[in-house]
Chains A and B, each alone.
Chain A
Amino acid sequence: MKILIANRGEIAIRIMRTCREMGLPTVAIYSDVDRNALHTRYADEAISIGPTKASESYLNIPNILDAAKRVKATAIHPGYGFLSENPDFGQAVEDAGIKFIGPKPKTMAIFGDKISARKAARKAGLLVLPGPDQPLAEDVHITELDKSLSYPVLVKAASGGGGKGIRLIRSEEELMDVVDLARKEAFAAFGDGTIYIEPLVQRARHIEVQILGDGKGKILTFGERECSIQRRHQKLIEEAPGPNLSDDEKNCIVGAARQLGETMKYRSLGTVEFLMDEDHQFYFIEVNPRIQVEHPVTEMITGVDLIQEQIQLAATGELTLDQSDITYNGAAIEARILAEDPDENFLPTTGEISYLKEPGGPGIRVDSSLYQGMRVSTDYDSLLAKVIAFGNDRKTAIRRLLRGLMEYQIGGLKTDLTFLTQVLESHPYQTGNINTTFLDEFLPEDQIPDESLARDAAIAAVLHIHNERTRAVEDNKNKSQWRQAAWHEQLKTK
C-alpha cells in the first residue's frame, strides 16, 4: 500500500510516522505556501497540488486525485479538517479505485448532516438533546416548534461540525437577528445555509468516545476523553480518562457509542461526542467520522497506535484487536499550541519562527509542524503543535505537562503557551471541576515571575545592548585603522 496523505501540518506528519514504522511508502501534498513544510520533507514523495488558497489546493478534489494517480498511490488518508468529512471526496477516491482510509461515504453523509446524525442516534436508542430533528424554517418562533425548549438555545449549522457554525440565542428578541446571521454564516462556511436548534446545556461537560469499527458490525471502544476546556467551541486542552466520572457513567457513555457504531455498521475510526449535564445525564451531540486532533491521549493510556489499526483495517478489512486487548493505564493530557494571542482575544498571530526548542523526556509526546525559519501565516488552521503528557495518575500528568510546556521555547511568534500553563495551574482544572464555559469565566492570574528571574531578564537585556555597543565600537576602531592604512598607502603613491 502506498498512502497519499491529503492533509498538512502535524497530523500529516503523525500519519506518516506510523506509515514509516509499518514500512509503507508515503506521499505528501502541498500548496504553494507549504512547499518547504515539514510534512513535505518527512514523506517519501511530495507533490504540489495548487495555490495557497485551501479551496484550490487542500480542498481541491480533482487536483488531489490527479496527484494520487500520478504517483500511483493506492490509498488516501484524509487526516482531520479539509476533506476528511466530505462524503463526495470519499466516494470520488473509491470510484478512482483508490482505498479511502475512513468511513464508508454513505456513513459520512449521514453524520455530515447534523440533523440526520441526530435522527440516526435517536433511532439507535441514544438519548439526544431535545429539539426538532428538522431544519429551522424561515420566520418561525422556537416556542411554536417545541414546547420543551426554552432560552437560551444554540443555533447550529447542519453541515457544520468540529465546533464551527454555532451561535447562542439568549432571548426571543435576539432570535430573528441571530438566526439570519447564522444562516448566512453557515452558507458562507459550508455552502449550506441549513440550521437547526438545540437547547444550551448550562455548565455542561464535553465527553466523547473513541470507536473503531470493521464496517460489518464489530465495534471496538477505546474509552472516553474529556474535552471541556474550549474557546468559541474550539478545544484547547483534552484528557483521558474523564476525571470525576464513576465506572457506571463511563460504561453508560461508552455503551451508547458502541450501540450507535454497531447499528450503523461503522467502518474505521470515529468519535461519538456527548454533552453531560450537571446531573451527569449524557446527551448525544454529533459524530466526527475521522481521526481527531486529541487522539493521542487515548493512544497514551491504551498503548494502541490508532492510525496503525486504521490502516491495518483498510488494508485487510479485518480488525487485529479484540475488545479484551484494550486496557487502560494512567492518565494523559494534551495541550494545543496555537498561533493565537491570548492577550488580544486570541487573534491569530503571524511571524517567522526564529528559535525553536521542543520538549522531551519521560512521558512527553510532541506532535509538531514547527521548524526554525518557518513562516507562520493565517492561511490555514492556527494549530502549530500538540504536547501530550502521560502520568500514572492525573496529578502526575498535569505536573509533567507543565514541565513540558516550560521546556517549549518558540521565538518570533506569540503563542498560547503561557495561557495553557495558567489554565493547568488553576484550582478548578487541578481538581477536575471543569465545564465548557470554564474558559469564558477564566481570568488568568497576573503573572508575577520570581524576583531572581526578573532580575536575570533585566541583566540579560542590558548585557545584550552593552555587548552590541561594545562590538560596534570595536568594529569602528578597526575601520578607522583600515582608513588610516589606506591614507598612508595613498601618501606613498603620491
Chain B
Amino acid sequence: MADYRVNVGKRSYDVTIKDDVLLVNGAPHKIDMESLNANGLHILRQPTRNVETYLESNQNGIYDVQIEGNHLAAEVVFGHQKQDNKTISSVGKLFSPMPGIIVDIPVKSGDRVKKGDTILVQEAMKMQMKIRSSCSGSITRINTATGSQVEKGELLVTIKPDEDQGQEA
C-alpha cells in the first residue's frame, strides 16, 4: 500500500494504491499506465478513454505532465498523512536517511516502543541499517511496507511521543 498527495495547480488529490486498486480521494478508479518509449511517453488507459501523457520530472520533484496540449505541474508528496499544525514538529517522525529498500519492520501500528528501539531495517548498497525510535511512545502510522523502495527524506513511521518527555527527545 502506498499513499500520495498530489498538488496540481490549486487542486489536491489523495491517491492510494493498494494491491491492484487505485483510489483517488477515496474513490476507486480503473486505470493503468504503460510506458511507450521509456522516455516519458505514457498511455493512461481507462475503461472508455486512452490519454497520452508525457512526463518530465524536474529537480524539485515536480512533474511536468503534458496532457491534451496542456502543461500541468504535478507535485507529488510521498507518504502523505493529514497533519495539523500541532504535530508539525519532527519529534516522533522517522524519515528515510537514504534511498533504499525497507527489508524489515519489526513493529506494527499501536505498538509501544522505547527510545532506541529498532523500528525499521533499510537496505541500500548491500548494507543494512537500523532506523531506531527517537523517543518513547506508541506507533501511530506506518507509511511503508516490507519490500518497498523508498526515497531519501520520505516519512516512514510516525510515533506519538509520551507526554512527559516530548521536546527532550
Contact = CB atoms under 8 A, between A and B. Distances in A.
A469 B148 contact: yes
A191 B126 CA distance: 64
Interface of B: 2, 4, 6, 8-9, 11, 13, 15, 17, 22, 24, 29, 31-33, 35, 37, 39-42, 44, 51, 53-56, 63, 65-72, 74, 76, 101, 147-149
Interface in A393-447: 405-409, 411-412, 417-418, 421, 447
A456 B71 contact: no
A455 B147 contact: no
Contacts of A460: 33, 42, 44, 51, 53, 55, 63, 65, 67, 74
A412 B32 CA distance: 24
A477 B146 CA distance: 12
B69 A421 contact: yes
B149 A458 contact: no
A375 B62 CA distance: 23
26 contacts: A355-B41, A355-B54, A407-B69, A449-B9, A449-B70, A453-B72, A454-B9, A456-B51, A457-B8, A457-B53, A457-B65, A457-B72, A459-B29, A459-B44, A460-B44, A461-B65, A461-B74, A462-B6, A462-B15, A463-B17, A463-B31, A464-B33, A467-B35, A469-B2, A473-B148, A477-B147
B122 to A, nearest CB: 12
Interface in A110-157: none
Nearest to B73: A457
Interface string A238-271: 0000000000000000000000000000000000
B68 A453 contact: yes
Contacts of A412: 56
Given A455-B24, A462-B6, A473-B149, 13 more contacts: A405-B69, A406-B69, A453-B68, A459-B31, A460-B65, A462-B4, A463-B33, A463-B42, A470-B149, A472-B149, A473-B148, A476-B149, A477-B147
A468 B74 CA distance: 17
B74 to A, nearest CB: 4
A310 B8 CA distance: 51
Contacts of B74: 457-458, 460-461
Contacts, number: 125
A451 interface: yes
A449 B4 contact: no
Interface residues of A, number: 38
A466 interface: yes
A473 B68 CA distance: 32
Nearest to A403: B69
B42 A464 contact: yes
Contacts of A486: none
Contacts of B68: 406, 453
A465 interface: yes
A115 B40 CA distance: 53
B33 A467 contact: yes
Given A355-B39, A460-B42, A461-B63, A469 B69 contact: no
Interface in A354-393: 354-355
B63 A411 contact: no
A448 interface: yes
Contact of A458 (B8, B37, B39): B8
